[in-house]
Amino acid sequence: MINDLLRNNLEWAAAKARIDPEYFRRLSAQQSPEYLWIGCSDSRVPANEIVGLEPGELFVHRNVANLAPAQDMNLLAVLQFALESLKVRHIIVCGHYGCGGVRAVLDGQRHGIIDHWMQRVQRLYEDHDSELAAIQDPEARVNFICEKNVLAQVRALSRNPFITDAWKRGQPLSIHGWIYSIRDGLVRDMETTITGPADVSRLEQARSQPRSRPRIPGRGRSS
């Protein structure tokens, strides 16, 4: 199976060079993406492909459940490099419905190290227990927390010192919250875009307002 991957690579590289002889020369030049994507490690969510971008156009950080904790050195290294070296203009937090990490929190079982990583989502689950109690469908419960998780990570990033410093020095930077449905391949904008400190308070106010529970992906237009 490993040899199959190496053979696939040879065929892919040859096909790219045949279609566009300058492809790899251009790609080997300094990358200059305008976007940083913070997404889930789920293998069914290929960041570049679902937004139609080529390699070099999207700087990507992925982890289980698309978290953005300020204590994660991996995330911080990616964030600082994206902001200070690449000068990205947009940060996209993209969750997805049916996330296995979120599902692991809601099933109430022990899963090992992932339980420690998912403590922030566990707190979301506890904060919204009354709303979850009103949702009977197990899949809708998972998707409800998937949405809340995206909003929480956008808020966390808006308070991150690397981002607040970028805004203070006048660097154009927006943070967006999206969610992807594996069932239909579509991305939904969670309408949480933050372009500066003034938007942070707006998002906090929206947080306190009730939000209708999500529909299960594949059962409606907004799923």
Q: Quick count: other Cβ atoms within 10 Å of Cβ 92?
A: 24
Which residues fall within 8 angstroms of residue 22, CB to CB, at 6 or more apart? none
- Active-site residue, 94 included: no
In the chain, the amino acid numbered 175 is I
Active-site residue, from 7, 25, 26, 44: 44
Active-site residue, from 94, 99, 141, 155: 99
**Whose CA is closest to 142, among 103, 109, 181, 108?**
103
**Whose CA is closest to 134, among 69, 213, 201?**
213
- Active-site residue, 90 included: no
Token pair, residue 44, equals 């069914």
- Active-site residue, 165 included: no
- Active-site residue, 44 included: yes
Question: What three-state secondary structure class fits 92?
Answer: strand
- Active-site residue, 219 included: no
Active-site residue, from 61, 96, 141, 188: 96
Q: List active site positions.
A: 40, 42, 44, 96, 99
